[in-house]
Structure 1
Amino acid sequence: MKNIAPTLASLLLTLVHAPQALAQASCSSDGTPKPVALFERFISADCAACWGDAATPAPSTNSSAVVLDWIVPGTAGDDAPLSAAASTDALPRLQALGRKPPTSTDVHITSVDGAASGRLRVAHGVAFNDYVGTGISFTPSPAPMQRQAAAAPLAFHLLLVETIPAGTDDTVVPRHIVRSQFEGSWPQAQRSERNKDRPRVWMETRPMRIPDGAQAERLHLVGWVQDASGRIVAAAQSICR
């Protein structure tokens, strides 16, 4: 059965993009506030005390920042206290930010450029056989300057995130653990003369495997889009309604 899971997960995602389909069983960023920043916490898998630290840095309660917890593989490997939730995706993310793997907790905050208007949407369907269908799409603003900016290549990041409520699993603060990541790029927009005033829409769909130990009912998506300079021009996260 597992070899058909990606196909069925993709089918579920197709239904998610249909306006009325799976209305009660899908999650998307529709109607959610636009995030103003990424608040990323990088936690060494070697640091058991970091997980339950009540003084863990967090954005202000009225902030619309997206919070992410990356568990960075530690020097103890599989014997590290937090190794079960460690993600190798954390290492290239740290490298992209110009930071080294921490020995405890490190925090990085990246602003989302509100001037670069455009609509980013992320969505996922119901979990099936250890997979979930996911999608990300970006529609740049129709303003002339935004159309020009969107003509350059764009990089996208799509993260499967597990939210762990405070007071559960030995954490006294809410956690948003990055479980897996999918990234790619959308090439320069090619427009015909007839369609040059019509905004280009980029879209990517993909089944993502739910890692061992993750609880499907706690999962949501976080996505963002970067321009060629690395500036984040849009971000979004899904909620389940």
Structure 2
Amino acid sequence: MKNIARTLASLLALALTHAPSALAQASCSSDGTPQPVAIFERFISADCEACWSDAATPAPSATAGAAVLDWIVPGKAGDDAPLSAAATSDALARLQTLGRKPPVATDVHTAAIEATMPARLRVAHGMPFNDYLGTAIAFTPVQRAAQRTGAAPAAMDFYLLLVESVPAGTEGTKVARNMVRNMLHGTLDKRNKLSKSEQMKWMETRSMRIPEGAQAERLRMVGWVQDAQGRVIAAAQSTCR
């Protein structure tokens, strides 16, 4: 059954990239949603229950439009940590990429969107099937920029995150949370191109497992693309309309 779920989720993700209008009633995407101006990441130790419930949790400045993410980092107490049910090894991988150590309490990282090239990013997901969700991310440099340079951009990294939106006043938190539940990290290179007729467009489609305990109706996607220097050049987050 799980193999069937993976296959169907992958097929759905492919359709989400190629024919978003055809699945408007069965998917959620970033279409029509303003691009985030920054990625604001909060890393919370699974040992620190008070950090999760703190009303003074770090938040973006007055500038609106940041994509806020909450990573629960495995703690020293392991499975006995108060927040262990939501902890993920993806948080450790992300911290390692940033060159940071797991926090004792809370750590924050902010990255502004640096539009070094005009580009469009789209993220989407379908409806849950068993324990899986079909997801997609597509990156397209604006045509005129490609024509000016005469060459495709160098290989870039992408992040596609499965996020659960937790409203303030629920699950023990006094502030709204966007808890990272799953992560796909890879490189957009020539292997990801759609076709010869779309030489400047990259995509990735994948089925993502929905972790136990996550509420499917609160799930959405957040994604971004960054260049070889680690600068975020485009970001997107899905909504269900």
TM-score by length of 1: 0.91
2:212 is the alignment partner of 1:212? yes
CA contact (8 A) 2:41 2:71 kept: yes
2:25 is the alignment partner of 1:3? no
Residue identity opposite 2:155 in structure 1: P
Residue identity opposite 1:153 in structure 2: A
Alpha-carbon distance, 1:118 to partner: 0.1
Q: 2:155 aligns with which of 145, 153, 174?
A: 153
Aligned to 1:173: 175
CA contact (8 A) 1:155 1:227 kept: yes
CA contact (8 A) 1:140 1:147 kept: no
Residue identity opposite 1:90 in structure 2: A
Note the alpha carbon deviations across 1:209-241, whole angstroms, 9 max, x for none: 001111110000011111111111111110011
CA contact (8 A) 2:189 2:202 kept: no
Residue identity opposite 1:6 in structure 2: R
Written as runs of structure 1 = structure 2, the 5 A alignment for 1:82-161 is 82-142=83-143, 143-144=145-146, 147=149, 150-161=152-163
Aligned mates of 1:190, 1:180 — CA distance in 2: 21
Aligned mates of 2:46, 2:11 — CA distance in 1: 36
Note the alpha carbon deviations across 1:103-135, whole angstroms, 9 max, x for none: 111111011113422000000000001100000
Aligned mates of 2:199, 2:57 — CA distance in 1: 42
Aligned to 2:227: 227
Alpha-carbon distance, 1:22 to partner: 2.9
**Gap change, CA 1:24 and 1:62, over 3 Å in 2:** farther
**Gap change, CA 1:22 and 1:151, over 3 Å in 2:** closer
Deviates more, 1:226-235 or 1:214-223: 226-235
Alpha-carbon distance, 1:148 to partner: 6.2
Aligned to 1:77: 78
Residue identity opposite 1:44 in structure 2: S
Partner of 1:39, secondary structure, is strand
Query: Which consecutive unaligned segments of at least 5 residues does structure 2 have?
Result: none
Alpha-carbon distance, 1:154 to partner: 1.1
CA contact (8 A) 1:44 1:73 kept: yes
Aligned to 2:57: 56
Identity of aligned residues (%): 65
Greater helix percent: which structure? 2
Q: CA RMSD in A?
A: 2.2
Alpha-carbon distance, 1:23 to partner: 1.6
TM-score by length of 2: 0.91
Aligned mates of 2:191, 2:133 — CA distance in 1: 29
Aligned mates of 2:156, 2:186 — CA distance in 1: 9
